[in-house]
Structure 1
């Protein structure tokens, strides 16, 4: 799960001083990659992780001096050493990390709230930060997929970034690049909305699925025609619960090409109706709980399964609601990563 969504929730509700820590450069191997963020609050609370616990305590001490001076700075952690006398304390991760520390003032807090608004609306956003020779931040700007700009930026936007915005899929490889137009290095990162999982069916086996998927970073919508099952008491981590029959429920959902959909009502006619209604939707993932033979019977006129994943989930021999939920979420993560990597390859 990308911690930025949890961080944005905390920042929005915070009245305290906060420090945003972001990995902006990785040389070699590391536990987390460029774009990973973590929040340090003045009272000691931490949100997110930048490593396997190797650098967080050190950062917690360093940020104490930043709460009042309001200046950003970048810390370099060399994790390559294998002896206990080096900073890495024998971690031997074979990587060098640059971590940018930014105090969150009023203006940045406001812009991060705007970022959260766009992400919740399902829109991706690119951040560009202009850096000095020692990698502190002088300017930053957010660029949305529908060409909206907000931030603190002096001067014109580089042509290279404008070309990025003109593309239909502004996929950015996170990290630092040097821009001739600015005569300075810049840090780029592509913030993605939470992936959305839509579950049709609110039985007992949907409860762990919603729990695990939410913890894995999915925004989960649950739909069922039975109000006694489909409610926030049963699914507190769900973003939304739609109580309605399939035809009416689907009319309330604006499907996106990257949506993940699972059908598990355990009612043959409802499952059949849902698959007919979903047949013309462009989805990133469509899975049906149950055997392949049952799913074939759900399809009228003997249609081919096409892109339907059935039985849904990775084939790990799962038994019971919890294990089946784990197998499904694992497959969702696998497919999500494959889709992201294919997009990145297409842009290279």
Structure 2
């Protein structure tokens, strides 16, 4: 299982009645910390954890304290100071050196802290804000449009302090082209917890047995693909069909799609050929473009190139200012 919030909530939803649960949340940090405010994990009565609130060094103590929250029905507030030689986190060798404040909130059948609404929204690929009252067993979720870089923060209200965490679904990427070099792209994206769709009209390509981790495999590049991209809220597209015609057809279909980023495999002049074949210009595209695709990490093999492309997409989606695309291995 990956550490994406949607995967954590799915695990909770599948067994929410079978055992007790606690939601652990980083609500404040000082100095360096592995996870920032808004990071969450779920712990159940079997001692299983879903997600991380540190690099793995604090989780055993967090799980131990989660049992207190389960037994008392009240929140448990934890502080780990990496600078204090007498603090547990220092003794455990936490290397960040900062201070982390964690809240453990018990989840019950009568009070799920709004996690059902949050889970439903992520299933629909909707964004919003998650509100948790500090040192209380209260929480709720509201859908709405967010600024992608807006951090979690504490609001001071008349009824107390509330942690407000922006929530967005995990990235969804569409890979155009199901050749051998697309396999590590799908595999790495899957391990990151991203949603993936693969499209290739060629019968010999994108075979299910070669892409067992692909979320969806499509066979046609037409207006139905454009509708699919909009409905499924695809965030980024990779053109890697090794066919100017197929890439151009996909680009012509998706040039006005509501995506955020497009990566084109191959040298810069190849993408110009794709644009010419598609009959459009860069000015017709309303999204960020990386051509050549990815970040320059010096890779030549398919796995390295996949890592480069996905790193570039990650940077574009989460930093909003993609680093200049560097020279990538030519086809």
TM-score, normalised on structure 2?
Answer: 0.84
May I ask how many residue pairs the two structures share in their alignment?
312
Structure-1 separation of matches of 2:139 and 2:44: 22
Structure-2 separation of matches of 1:97 and 1:252: 42
Paired position in structure 2 for 1:161: none
Paired position in structure 2 for 1:193: 169
Alignment of 1:144-223 (within 5 A): 144-145=143-144, 169=147, 172-179=150-157, 181-182=158-159, 184-223=160-199
Paired position in structure 2 for 1:155: none
**What is the DSSP-based 3-state SS (H/G/I as helix, E as strand, rest coil) of the residue aligned with 2:125?**
coil
Tell me if structure 1 keeps the 8 A contact 2:129–2:141: yes
Paired position in structure 2 for 1:12: 13
Structure 1, residues 107-140: CA drift from partner, whole Å, max 9, x if none? 4449423312211222112122233xxx233x32
Paired position in structure 2 for 1:129: 132
Gaps of 5+ in 1: 147-167, 342-348
Structure-1 separation of matches of 2:217 and 2:232: 18
Q: CA RMSD in A?
A: 2.7
**What is the DSSP-based 3-state SS (H/G/I as helix, E as strand, rest coil) of the residue aligned with 2:28?**
strand
Structure 1, residues 148-203: CA drift from partner, whole Å, max 9, x if none? xxxxxxxxxxxxxxxxxxxx759753132312x33x11111111111221111111
Structure-1 separation of matches of 2:203 and 2:69: 50
Structure-2 separation of matches of 1:258 and 1:230: 19
Structure-2 separation of matches of 1:50 and 1:276: 43
Tell me if structure 1 keeps the 8 A contact 2:221–2:253: no
Cα pair distance change 1:238/1:111, threshold 3 Å: farther
Tell me which of 101, 104, 109 is aligned to 2:107. 104
Alignment of 1:86-105 (within 5 A): 86-87=87-88, 88-89=90-91, 90-91=93-94, 93-105=96-108
Q: 1:37 offset after TM fit, Å?
A: 1.0
Q: 1:257 offset after TM fit, Å?
A: 8.2
Structure-2 separation of matches of 1:193 and 1:238: 17
Tell me which of 313, 319, 323 is aligned to 1:338. 319
Structure-2 separation of matches of 1:8 and 1:227: 37
Alignment of 1:300-311 (within 5 A): 300=276, 305=282, 307-311=288-292
TM-score, normalised on structure 1?
Answer: 0.80
Q: 1:27 offset after TM fit, Å?
A: 1.8
Tell me if structure 2 keeps the 8 A contact 1:246–1:270: no
**What is the DSSP-based 3-state SS (H/G/I as helix, E as strand, rest coil) of the residue aligned with 1:324?**
helix
* Displacement over 4 Å in runs of 4+: 168-172, 255-258, 301-307
Question: Is 1:280 aligned to residue 256 of structure 2?
Answer: yes
Tell me if structure 2 keeps the 8 A contact 1:3–1:47: no
Tell me if structure 1 keeps the 8 A contact 2:173–2:234: no
Cα pair distance change 1:246/1:170, threshold 3 Å: closer
Tell me which of 57, 60, 63 is aligned to 1:57. 60
Tell me which of 59, 75, 78 is aligned to 1:72. 75
Structure-1 separation of matches of 2:203 and 2:81: 55
Structure-1 separation of matches of 2:228 and 2:31: 47
Tell me which of 316, 324, 329 is aligned to 2:297. 316
Q: 1:305 offset after TM fit, Å?
A: 4.7
Paired position in structure 2 for 1:326: 307
Cα pair distance change 1:228/1:170, threshold 3 Å: closer
Structure-2 separation of matches of 1:47 and 1:238: 23
Q: 1:304 offset after TM fit, Å?
A: 5.4
Paired position in structure 2 for 1:345: none
Question: Is 1:293 aligned to residue 274 of structure 2?
Answer: no
Gaps of 5+ in 2: 323-331
Structure-2 separation of matches of 1:145 and 1:253: 20
